[in-house]
Amino acid sequence: MSGPLQAPRAGQAARRVTAMSQETVDEAINMYVAERMEKGKQMAVSHFLACLYLKQQGEEMVESMRRVRSLTRYYIDLTKVMLNPFKGPEIAWLASMVNIAIYAAVLISVEEQRTLGIALLSGTLVNGCYLIRSVTKKWCDLHVMLAIYDEIVQIADQELESLT
């Protein structure tokens, strides 16, 4: 029976430490990614390692580096799944635009509805250009994230070699 004045059991304390170090690792990875995009690699690496060393105790550092490596590899796998630009709402948006463009072409062939068809087709073309631009940007951003995550794995591997 654990009341407010009693100490938590050993399992509860271990879960809190694990959750705390998991949060610390995730926070450090997010901080590295943000700083890497803004300030460059050297500054980001030094802040990343400083964050981990300050928040983890000496004997927990090896475990933290292993967590960094495993969590980053999970992020790499997740990002690789999302690399296909048409794995998401983009494919539905493209299919809708194709249907609207076909309907607009039919409207253009009807004399009384030609103006409506032209307006519909031009709007579809504008949205198509926006879709291509957003898919390209998403694809480029995901490739940058993969490169940054690879850097984090390399940093974690180097630190593990120096710690062990």
pLDDT (0 to 100) of residue 82: 80
> How is residue 60 annotated by DSSP?
G
Number of structural domains found in the chain: 1
Q: How confident is the model at residue 21 (pLDDT cuts 50, 70, 90)?
A: low
What is the Cα–Cα distance from 19 to 21, expressed in whole angstroms?
Answer: 6
Per the domain annotation, does 1 fall within a domain? no
Domain that holds residue 106: 10-163
47 has a pLDDT exceeding 80: yes
Q: What is the mean pLDDT of residues 59-88?
A: 82
Long-range pairs for 32-35 at CB < 8 Å and ≥24 separation? 32/148, 32/152, 33/145, 33/148
Per the domain annotation, does 121 fall within a domain? yes
Per the domain annotation, does 71 fall within a domain? yes
pLDDT (0 to 100) of residue 89: 83
157 has a pLDDT exceeding 70: yes
Which range in 7-16, 32-41, 109-118 is most confidently predicted, on average pLDDT? 109-118
Q: How confident is the model at residue 112 (pLDDT cuts 50, 70, 90)?
A: very high
Per the domain annotation, does 4 fall within a domain? no
- Average of per-residue pLDDT values in the chain: 81
